[in-house]
Amino acid sequence: MDIVDLARIFLQIIVEEVLQDADGQLTLGSTKLLSSAAYPRGLRVRDVSLRYDSASGIFTVTLQVGTVDSTLAETDFEVRRLNHT
């Protein structure tokens, strides 16, 4: 296991623990990023994943939204590091 693998594991732990609570809502620490009204009829964030490309310095975040039983939609977006040194 190299440093890149360790970084991926660390980022995945952060995503799982910080960005998604037990109810499937997006959070940052204990602060909800969206109100409960954003999750009608039992919708929830089913999965959040984060990848980092060290060559480009870009994080890719993927969100799956659905019910407990199925994924209804998936989207991803990219974020560039601002404090690149």
Say how far apart CA 21 and CA 76 lie, in whole Å: 19
- Please tell me the predicted confidence (pLDDT) of residue 74: 92
Mean pLDDT of 38-65: 83
- Please tell me the predicted confidence (pLDDT) of residue 30: 77
Q: In this structure, what token pair is assigned to residue 61?
A: 């975040």
Strand, helix or coil at 57?
coil
pTM, full prediction: 0.60
Neighbours of 28 (CB within 10 A): 9
